[in-house]
Amino acid sequence: MTEGLLPTDEPIQLIDPAGSRTVTTTFDLPDRETLTALYRAMVSGRRFDAQVTALTRQGRLAVYPSSRGQEACQTGTALALRPQDWLFPTYRDSVAVVTRGIDPMDVLVSFRGDWHCGYDPRQHRTAPQCTPLATNTLHAVGLAHAARLKNEDTVAVVLLGDGATSEGDTHEALNFAAVWKAPVVFVVQNNGYAISVPLHRQTAAPSLAHKGIGYGIRSFRVDGNDAAAVYATVSAAVSAAAAGAGPVLIEAVTYRMEAHTNADDATRYRQDDEVAHWLERDPLRRLATFLGLKGSEFDDEAELLAADVRTRAGTDASPSPESLFEHVYAERPVMLERQMVDALDLPAGGRSGVEGLEEDGRGTR
């Protein structure tokens, strides 16, 4: 009954940290065009991440969770999606959203404190970046189940962290998806820490991928710093889910090189030698070495992206004060209408045409 459900003991790897081909029979190595696209996306993603981190330190963003070190997970997942599939990212997955083709400045809207997510989720088939832990797993399963009921060829891929696997929402999402064979792929980016809580303090399972068998979900454990392996595994999972095989759980073993956010001090809970170990497993360097690239082939393109973000983020928006009162009620209450009159400093009678208001803007009810 458990045949094919358990992950391998060692993470799936197609290219080792030194940039050499790993002998494996699990998945085929993607072709060179795909590998080059993965590397190009990682170069842009890392430069974007560095630029946004700098802007946050300058006070241009309220908060930003860096994903430096996790580029292979995010680009490998985003590029494995088909045009009709949906992505459900978390707050740390800005590089995945940029890789999906969304304007980088639109990705940063919520981090700048604006009131919306910055892009049209339906247009890009990408849900708003989710801040509450694990709630996006339920959103993904709901969309996938609905797509199945409507006979649509759509797969939902949800990104979550290791900390999110300890949330009840994740349990409910995995169980529902398995029972109803929802076409959804769960990609857990296990970066070792839930903010400052190390993995061994939140689970006693052999691995996060092993949790899949409890739900009857086929699971894989993959080297999350090997973009080729991530892409191949997610691609296979999407194909299987689309073919009606039900959900797939993938644990991508990786590492967060920076602090949890700009408000965190990672030196309080991890050692320098641990960080140095993972620096040697850099996802960009290993793929550049395998492809025989110098490592600077796409730097100019990435710098143009960073310069554009820098320029536009340095320009303050001029929102209309009236926008404070929009999209709150279908029919604005009189009291809110009165507050708007006061806030906009309208002349007496300026809103006299509004039902329920007297000429001086006072409410009559």
Catalytic site positions = 256, 260, 269
Pair of tokens at residue 14 = 């197609």
Tokens 């590397």 identify what position?
39
CB 250 within 8 Å of CB 209: yes
Tokens 């290791």 identify what position?
162
Backbone angles phi, psi at 178, to 5 degrees: -70, -45
Distances, alpha carbon 160 to alpha carbons 87, 88, 117, 349, in Å: 11, 9, 18, 53
Dihedral of alpha carbons 29, 35, 37, 43, sign: positive
Backbone angles phi, psi at 27, to 5 degrees: -140, 155
Amino acid (one-letter) located at 40: R
Tokens 């002349």 identify what position?
347
HSE toward the beta carbon, residue 110, CA cutoff 13 A:
16
CB 344 within 8 Å of CB 322: yes
Distances, alpha carbon 29 to alpha carbons 15, 24, 25, 46, 333, in Å: 9, 9, 10, 23, 60
Amino acid (one-letter) located at 264: D
Strand 193-194 and strand 184-190: the pairing is: unpaired
Task: Report DSSP state, residue 320.
Answer: -
Task: Report DSSP state, residue 3.
Answer: T
Dihedral of alpha carbons 153, 102, 67, 281, sign: positive
**Residue 145 three-state SS:** helix
Q: How far is the C-alpha of 64 from the C-alpha of 349, rounded, in Å?
A: 45
Q: How far is the C-alpha of 282 from the C-alpha of 263, rounded, in Å?
A: 24
Separation of CA 297 from chain center: 26
